[in-house]
Structure 1
Amino acid sequence: MRPSLPYRVDQAGRFVSYELGELSMDSRRRRSTMGQNNLDSASLFYHVSSGGRRYQLNLTRNAAFFAPDLLVEYWGANGPERRRRRRGTSAGTCHYTGHVSGKASTSQVAPEQLRWFDLPWSRAQVSGGVGEHTVTERTGGRTRRSVSRERTVETLVVADKLTVAFHGRGSVEDYLLTIMNIVARLFHDSSLGNLVHVVVTRLILLTEEQPELRLSHHADKSLESFCRWQHQAATHHRNEELRSSGLPRHDNAVLVTRHDICSYKNKPCGTLGLAPVGGMCEPERSCSINEDLGLASAFTIAHEMGHNFGMNHDGMGNKCGGEGEEPARIMAAQLTAAASPFSWSSCSRQYISRFLDSGRGDCLNDSPQTLNLVMPTELPGLRRSPDVQCRLQHGPTSRQCKFRDVCRQLWCVSRSKLCVTNSIPAAEGTACASDNGDVGWCFRGRCLPLGNRPVPVDGLWGSWGAWSKCTRTCGGGVSSSERKCDNPKPTHGGTYCLGVRGRYRSCNTEDCPAGTQDFRDKQCASFNSQPFRGKLYSWTAYTAVQGKMCSLVCLADGYNFYTERAEVVVDGTRCHDDPDSFNICVNGECKHVGCDRQLGSTLTEDKCRVCGGDGTTCETIHGEFSKSIPWGDYHKVVHIPRGAVNIEVEETVPSKNYLALRTKNGFVLNGDWTVQWPHSLTLAGTRFLYKRPVGEVEKLSARGPIDQPITVTVLLQERNKGIRYSFNVPLKEDHQASFAWFLEPWTPCSASCGKGERKRVATCRRLLHLTVALSEQCQAEKRPPNKRQVCSAQPCPAVWRPREWSKCSRSCGGGNRSRTVVCIRAPSGATAVILDNSLCHGPPPPSKEACNAQDCPPQWVALAWSRCDSMCGPGLMHRPVLCKSADLTQTLDPSKCLTTSRPTVQRHCTRKRCPHSRWLVGHWGECSAQCGLGQQVRRVWCAASDQQPSMLCPAVLRPRNAQACQGACETSPRSLSEECRDINKVAYCPLVLKFRFCSRAYFRQICCKSCQGQ
């Protein structure tokens, strides 16, 4: 069914003209020979027929389509020529909203929901011509204001000279903003797995070539030039000017060009865009160039911005886009009819999630302070017909040439008069022919019935999953737990869940056994069997690459090169090879680990290297070696005892002298007149860092503790200019003499009115600095008692005091609760006195309020019990338990209901009495002891009257199956010549006597004397 042609009427519905008028896209009003038929009016009225009924559309210009503070700049050859803030009130704005007057008795679409969207605006259109227009359903509420602070890409959009000339100054602004609106919608799609807002904060339109910007068919050179240029444009000569002029900053820059770009060539080809992979938030790499393809340029821009977020092409090193795999989507390497450009693949979702979780997108965590973006709900195809979309791609003479499957591919007449396609669908909202032949509109690549637009469903988090297996068996691994945005899953443009999707905890934090292979080395060694550039290598970890703490960089053993073998290391890998740091990599980001080896812990070591300590268990030794001594020999600076920590030794000023280290076995650093290069060395159970920067002081440092004493010496090659040293040593046990109890000053009165109390509390302090110490540092017997004192203040005034709220009348769905409010005078520490309400000033607190207004969650509904499943005696009954919606109208998936509150699905039951059963016993077995106390057992079982095994015997009547027994001991008289004595001489036999083991032959023999008479 084809919609009727509308005609213009006045407010009363009287015919005016079939000429719908022409919209000026310039900010200035255009003169027109149409007189009152032009669209300068703030209100317009039309008659249109649909579904056999006629309606009057009352339209009002919508001035809230654009960001109120969007900065639009026109740049000539010498830079900015004109700047203005675009506030969405341009006279050329062709976006109208409205309502329908009158009602019809029958209509597929409710008449008050009809909206007129598409009016002729292109200057190429013949004035007075009548084109086709679309009547469609209003699918949603008012335009919503988005002020999200989750991930906001503040975007600079630049159109080159060719683009501005092609579209014209009067149209290019709206054209580019429409494209970026499509881009924003694509990044709002829930398949991205993250909530990302794309906001245009600055629009630069180039009317002339720029001296520092070199654009051509060569995509790579053009990208390099643009990325450098946009970084300069971000500050425009000086950072001071950016701040003082109020120019908005940007996180990402997008160039739209009419050059037919080609990668690695300076001639046209099929390349549509180019961007640095993973460049987001890097000032000179967060950029892209995109060939202007009309409204379909939005898919190219979204694709290239995806590269900035670290996404690879679907099918490139991932399991998307290949045969038998998930189809390629926005990140498809090539645009074909098979690709789905309206959503993101799971591979793209993993790439961007990993990128953001690693912290590389932290510049997106803020949002524009002065920008309240109004997100339009209208689909772009409603404002631009297929012919208009073709003209945006191929020029003013182009038009649509194939009409089937326009929602999948838009076919247009090219400049060479051929019917061609870029394999890109028409914009959403474009008119199409549905399967039954009726007029429909394009939505996400499909032709749906006109006005049919699925209602967005926002996502909610599901329950947390189980903790994963620890990533390491020792040395500090990571266990993780995740939850998915599937309760419900966001659909039809609904927003993705906000909040934490993964949580982590430390596990297996104990040190690995001595000799265990380094965890990074182990990961590198796993690549030994994988050819690299056609050859096998042995790999070891290489950690000297800046900014690659959580990437697996490996050194080819025996060769002078290293390479990144994996983008991220296994979770739980140490960020660096510093043994004094416990920080580990999680999801490719270095995470803080406290000294207790727990992820995210804030515990730190004190100066004594005690985790969570207060620095009171050691003392600092410091000094300066500044003696005037002869040159040309080694001289002792300081002796550092065993157990010292936080050792620091350095020259006071640069010199030609050299620090050296010596143990009882001789020199270990710079000894025997041999000076070593700066390095780290393991000595005395810790690692020493030796630094000697050119032109700076020489330094030695170690965290400690050292397990043997060391001596710091200096090799003097010129006069001694001074050497400072400091280290901390444990306090001796008599250190309590350095602490004492002090009574603190009186505290303020505990009551601001009436009777109160103040007190003085004893505190343990260090005598040296009078700083507070732990109570254990002072002698408990010398602690003075705390002092208390009554204090008085002004009489307490009468005040309202509410009692506790009653229980809410409903747990959800809106209830009420109440409480008692009384007027009292309540002196501190005394019983409150209830007064007459007239003595309290001001209105009393509310005594009633609404409560639990949230919607009721799904609930379990238990159906009737089944019959008992046993023929006799005990059995089980079962019943179905369903998860139902709050109004009990829908049966839901059981995961939607709370597991812990699920009713039982079975219970015990008893049928008629079963045949008589009784316990039977066997014969007692032999005694376990040959002499003295032992144990013997027998078989006990339950049998029915037919001697078959039964489970119906009462447990309380079960006979015992074990008893004590006495083994017969040897009774032959001992020889008189054989002495009865205790063989054991180490106080063993009294224990035998105490525990009554004399009845056992072995103990009676070795403790004969002790066991006599027993």
Structure 2
Amino acid sequence: MCAGLWCLVEGDASCKTKLDSPLDGTECGADKWCRAGECVSKTPIPQHVDGDWSPWSQWSMCSRTCGTGVQFRQRKCDNPPPGPGGRHCQKSSVEHKACEHPPCPKGAPSFRDLQCLSYNRHANSKKKGSMLTAIINDEKPCVLFCSPVGRDVPVLMADRVMDGTPCGPYEADLCVNGRCQKIGCDGIIGSSAKEDRCGVCNGDGRSCKIVRGDFNHTKGMGYIEALVIPAGARRIKVVEDKPSHSFLALKDSSKRSINSDWKIELPGEFELAGTTVRYVRRGLWEKMSAKGPTNTPLHLMVLLFHDQSYGIHYEYTVSLNTTQDRSSEEPREPEYLYIWTHSSWQDCTVQCGGGERRTVVSCMRIVNKTMEAVNDSYCQPENRPQPQVRFCNSHPCQYRWVTGEWGSCSVTCGKGVQQRDVVCVYHFQNGSLIHTRDLYCQGGKPPVVQGCEGRLCLTLWEASEWSKCSSGCGPGVHKRTVSCTNPQGLCDPLSQPTQEEPCEDYSRCYEWKTGDWSKCSSSCGKGLQSRVVQCMHKVTGRHGNDCPVTLRPPTYRPCHHGTCNDKINVNTITSPRLAALTYKCMGDQWTVHCRVIREKNLCQDMRWYQRCCETCRDFYAKKILHKS
């Protein structure tokens, strides 16, 4: 009984144990208790001793031979063991951590599937219809459910999956002892340690910066380079703003790629630039993401088909140290990327009878978001796409009428006639024509002569000057008067000029804004009042220089408060400096910088004076006393 503590779990018919001994002092019989794992007669309680842990054991073997698995190590509460009444060791006696092996071979069964397959071997079943595959229950991710291949009939095979089984297909969490456990960035299972956005375990996110932006391109057909994501980038995310007929594409320096060379991939996970890129496509909407870090640059491209791409948003983080190190390096040669692209369409192979048009496949070099055609030897020949083909000129070769251009009217003013050539020809497949007799062409012969009217005697339309744009700040319209001066009103309505057109005018977006007048600079006699006058945008409130100078309101105006006999002759106060002396000062606003403002002789500028009025007032007061 004292060798191991067994417990009955509520709702379970069987007892469970962790193989730990009961605490010393646990009764095990009449006048007996447990001591050091043995049931002995009760003796006087020895000295109070708290238990302490032994050193950790070595880590166990990894639970898997490829991919991510689990290791554990143990320790015992026997250094020393707790005495009667002593405290038992705190925390867990077992610790788990994740262990990494090279990725499992592509196409190999998952770890969970292998556990289901083991039940096939136990049953000695070789029938294809009875092969088992794993089914994940979202509510019980660490319970092993299997189903026959091709059927969705989950069968409970084990209360728990093997340690190290992923909780889900796209999750890093692992099952340990039948429970889904999170893995900290320190590799310890159950740890709360997390990577910050820079990939630093338990970091504060200050060692990197976020790079984000948008790319919009709506013209052209083929691959357009949008961005080069540098090596070392983390938390990469590329998302289409709206569904579109374009495709996102990625390519690294080792020629691994997604959706390049005119080959569109199915959604899934791909290994590029030393990281796993997850590609999601739902209908016409796409997203690419990767945890990073990348070990080579990634080229982000957009494959356009129909001259429309509603734009993409991208963001990633890059280390600040990496950015600084690169800035100190000597300039390097730009990295070139070579891809096949369909550059243009060839002419139709025939003029009639049905032919083909093919695209011209060219090798293009991409650098700094520009493309240029290069020799085909730069691109990989095995990735060269087949030309796209369209049928053309499907109309049959036949006899047909060919008409010439109409000649000039026989008169320059009034009613007349004009003529043209009309001949019957046979159209060969190579595009050549031969003149034949009119009787071979079907249908009526097009007219050779038609009526016309000389226009030189008609008065042209007269249009006035355009009015000013209706809006002085943004889109608007401007108008003009269009009239026909011919007494008979014979002006051609088809040639009438427009009377209204859209326009844009931003010349009146800025206007003068004034502040309140200050108090008079003198309490008696003549003085000055000042105010702030600024040129500001009507909508945004930004400062500018586009206000009309002639309309600028005055900054100063005279003021008078009766006659006085002060030491200072108030009748001579006409300078902004003296006006500033009586400015209602509430103290310096820029305490740290005001001494420099005074030393640089900037107090005479009202803008600086208002921010450092106390220091500047003292400066001018001393100046005036010195002069007097």
Give me the TM-score of the superposition, normalised by structure 2.
0.37
Please identify which structure carries the higher strand content: 2
Give me the TM-score of the superposition, normalised by structure 1.
0.24
